[in-house]
Structure formats: structure tokens, C-alpha cells
């Protein structure tokens, strides 16, 4: 994002004074910790879905509707979080959302019906949606302050947290109840927030000056709205795939390919591992290939990987497909959200994130119903279709995004 290079940042109350590099470094570290915590907590829930499905006696379609609670709660909150960030600042909203996320993760294993599960997942989803918009808004400001396209590194932390959370979940799945496991995650989440929260709160980043050549974030009107919606649709296509892997990947391995619960949990961990690797290399990839090629290559790779993951006859081939899918999806969502944020600030992040998580809103019930009508492997091929769609939209948007500095 070359147009961000001319942004200056200042400590509130000291207009025009550049933030010290050490302060930016501490803010970046604390924000990275929150991205990792978000992925860690979410993955802890994901790997216990098969056990909680059995506990609640849910069918595939019942589970899909219950899982809708996560996305519904997230989408509703995301429509409000952009305003909260503009009023109170993205750093305080991130910290408060992290506390709510840590507390709400303990609720799902306390349920014994699909309806009750769906209700508590609304709460979990609300906290999850809030922290995602707030963190990404803070990250957009840091990208501007650091003058480098480092957004993928924050999402790499999310994926790394997810990999660790899924790996740990796989290790304890056989010997620790979902209740004990997710309650432990509450304690970890509150502890991490208590340590990283004060650091983030004491190192705000505020964009205070822009040159005439730098587009000012605007209200979502006209061309700005169209471009934000376009990037939001790209995010939707890929969030659908991430949500499918989270909600249905372990179940596919365990139910359709008869994998051990530990191996099934490792499927999401492998997906998160390759996504982490892809995002760690994302800054270099963006600098070398540019946005359009990164989006097209990612969508095409993810489509091929998910076809293999969904239709492979053996566990090991399916795991390979999951790995390729993670590599392909890695940088699409962060690039889309970063571009929306650069165009319209927290409002752009909120709008693109809301559209993106609409993919998760659509995904759980859609895959559940298709699985009941046909089979889960067939349902998972829709991930490949939407990843291919993201590649096509990314290519079609090459001229629309070029005037904004891509």
C-alpha cells in the first residue's frame, strides 16, 4: 500500500509529533498477541465441536443452525464495532472484546441441546466479531504508522494461535472433557488480556496528517462504497472457506474417513499451520507480486486444495488438501480488509468484515443442509467454488483498485 507511506502518526494531544519507534514496536507486539489469542480461543472451540455435537444429540443440519449463532452474533456486533472504535478508540474496544471472548468460550460445553448451543454461540460470536473489527482497525492504523504492508503478519499471529489451540485441543481431546478444556481457555484468555491489555492501551496510534496525494478515509458513499463492498465480497468468499474448515473439517475426517479424534483435530491444526506460513510470507509476497496476483494465486490454490481435501479417499490425502487450502486462503482476507480500511478507516474495516463474516453466516447452515441432502464431502466442494470466485473477483477488480495505489 504505497499511498500509506506518507502518513504521519502522533500521540494524542501532541499534534504532528511522530510516535517513537519503540512505542510502535510495543503496540505492534501487544496487538499481535491479541490476534494470536483470538485464533487460540477460536481453535479451542473448533476442535471440541464433534464432542459437543454428540453431547447435544444434534444432526448435521441441527448443528449447522446452532453454529449459525457464532456468525449471527459476529455480524450483528460488527455493524456496531466500527462506531465504537471511532468513539472510544480501537485499542480499548479490542481489550474489552478480548475479556468477553475469554468469558464466553466456557459456555458451549454447558449446553445439552442444539437450541441452547445456538443461543450461547450468539454470545461467543458477538465477542468474536467485536474483537475482529477492533483488532483489524488498530492494525490498519499501525500499517500506516509503520509504512510497510504488514497486515498479513497480524493474521499470521491469528493462524499461529489457531494452530497451537488446535494442536493442544487434539492432545487433550481424549482425556479432558470439553467443559474442563474450554474453562481452562477462559483462564488463559483473561491472563493474556491482563498482561497485553495495558500495553495496548498505553500505546495508541492516531493518524493525524495526510498529504494531498493521500486519499482520506471517507464515509461509505459512491465509489468508496462500491470498492469496500467489492473487497467485502472477496473476504466473504474466503471466510466461508475458513469457517467451513473450522466447523466441518474435523468432522469430515472423523465421520467420513474414520480418522482418530486426535488426527481429526490435527487437520485444522495443519490448515492453520500452512495459513500461518502463508501469512508470514505475505508482506514479501505483496511487495513482489502486488495485490491482484496475490488474490488470484491464493484463490486458485485454495480451490484446488479444497477439491482434494473434500474428495480424497484417504485421510492423508485429505490432510494434504487441507494444507494446500490453508496456503491458498492465507492472504486473501487480510488483503481485502486492509484495502477496505485504507479506503474508509474503521467503517471500511467494519463493512468488509461484516460482509466477510457473512460467509461464515452462510457457511454453517449451507454445508449442514447440503451434507444432509447429499454428503459432507460434496458440501465441502462449495468452499472450492467460492475460493475460485474470489480469484475471479480479484482479477476483475484489478483496474478498480489500481487508482488507490495497488
| Contact (CB, 8 A) for 254 and 53 | no
Give the integer Cα–Cα distance in Å for 360 and 337. Answer: 15
Distance CA 47, CA 261 (A): 9
Confidence (pTM): 0.74
Task: Note the pLDDT of residue 217.
Answer: 47
Instruction: Give pLDDT, residue 144.
Output: 79
Confidence at residue 153, expressed as pLDDT on a 0 to 100 scale: 86
Residue 184 φ then ψ, to 5°: -65, -35
Segments of the chain scoring below 50 in pLDDT: 1-17, 208-218, 401-406
What is the Cα–Cα distance from 30 to 35, expressed in whole angstroms?
9
Locate the domains of the chain by residue range: 2-404
**If you ran DSSP here, which 8-state letter would residue 253 be given?**
I
Biggest CA pair distance of the chain: 62
Sign of the torsion angle spanned by Cα atoms 113, 236, 281, 298: positive
CA distance 234 to 244: 16
Task: Please report the pLDDT score of residue 290 as a whole number.
Answer: 81
Task: Please report the pLDDT score of residue 67 as a whole number.
Answer: 82
- Which architecture, in CATH terms, is 2-404? Up-down Bundle (1.20)
The residues facing 206 across adjacent strands are 10
Quote the cell numbers at residue 165: 489451540
Under 8 Å between Cβ of 390 and 295: yes
Q: Are 323 and 268 in contact (CB under 8 A)?
A: no
Amino acid at each position: 500500500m504505497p499511498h500509506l507511506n506518507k502518513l504521519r502518526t502522533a500521540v494524542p494531544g501532541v499534534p504532528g509529533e511522530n510516535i517513537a519507534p519503540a512505542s510502535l514496536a510495543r503496540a505492534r507486539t501487544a496487538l499481535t498477541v491479541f490476534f494470536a489469542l483470538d485464533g487460540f480461543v477460536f481453535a479451542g472451540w473448533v476442535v471440541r465441536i464433534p464432542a459437543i455435537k454428540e453431547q447435544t444429540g444434534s444432526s448435521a443440519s441441527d448443528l449447522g443452525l446452532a453454529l449459525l449463532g457464532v456468525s449471527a452474533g459476529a455480524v450483528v456486533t460488527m455493524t456496531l464495532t466500527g462506531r465504537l472504535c471511532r468513539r472510544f478508540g480501537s485499542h480499548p474496544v479490542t481489550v474489552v472484546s478480548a475479556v468477553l471472548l475469554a468469558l464466553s468460550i466456557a459456555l458451549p460445553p454447558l449446553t445439552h441441546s442444539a437450541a441452547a448451543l445456538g443461543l450461547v454461540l450468539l454470545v461467543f460470536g458477538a465477542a468474536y466479531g467485536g474483537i475482529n473489527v477492533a483488532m483489524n482497525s488498530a492494525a490498519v492504523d499501525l500499517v500506516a504508522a509503520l509504512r510497510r504492508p504488514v497486515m498479513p503478519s497480524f493474521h499470521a499471529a491469528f493462524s499461529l494461535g489457531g494452530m497451537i489451540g488446535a494442536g493442544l485441543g487434539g492432545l487433550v481431546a481424549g482425556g479432558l472433557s470439553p467443559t474442563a478444556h474450554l474453562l481452562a481457555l477462559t483462564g488463559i484468555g483473561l491472563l493474556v488480556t491482563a498482561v497485553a491489555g495495558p500495553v495496548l492501551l498505553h500505546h495508541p496510534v492516531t493518524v493525524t496528517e495526510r498529504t494531498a496525494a493521500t486519499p482520506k478515509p471517507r464515509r461509505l458513499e459512491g465509489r468508496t462504497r462500491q470498492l469496500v463492498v467489492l473487497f467485502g465480497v472477496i473476504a466473504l468468499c474466503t471466510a466461508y472457506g475458513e469457517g467451513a474448515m473450522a466447523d466441518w473439517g474435523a468432522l469430515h475426517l472423523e465421520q467420513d474417513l474414520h480418522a482418530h479424534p486426535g488426527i481429526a483435530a490435527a487437520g485444522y491444526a495443519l490448515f492453520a499451520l500452512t495459513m500461518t506460513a502463508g501469512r508470514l510470507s505475505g508482506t514479501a509476497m505483496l511487495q513482489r507480486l502486488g495485490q491482484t496476483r496475490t488474490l488470484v494465486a491464493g484463490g486458485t490454490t485454495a480451490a484446488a486444495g479444497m477439491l482434494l481435501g473434500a474428495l480424497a479417499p484417504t485421510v492423508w490425502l485429505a490432510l494434504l488438501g487441507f494444507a494446500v487450502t490453508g496456503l491458498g486462503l492465507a492472504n486473501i482476507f487480510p488483503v481485502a480488509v486492509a484495502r477496505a480500511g485504507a479506503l474508509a478507516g474503521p467503517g471500511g474495516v467494519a463493512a468488509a468484515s461484516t460482509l466477510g463474516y457473512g460467509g461464515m453466516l452462510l457457511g454453517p447452515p449451507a454445508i449442514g443442509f447440503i451434507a444432509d441432502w447429499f454428503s459432507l464431502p460434496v458440501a465441502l466442494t462449495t468452499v472450492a467454488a467460492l475460493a475460485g470466485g474470489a480469484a475471479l473477483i480479484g482479477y476483475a477488480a484489478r483496474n478498480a483498485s489500481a487508482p488507490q495505489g495497488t
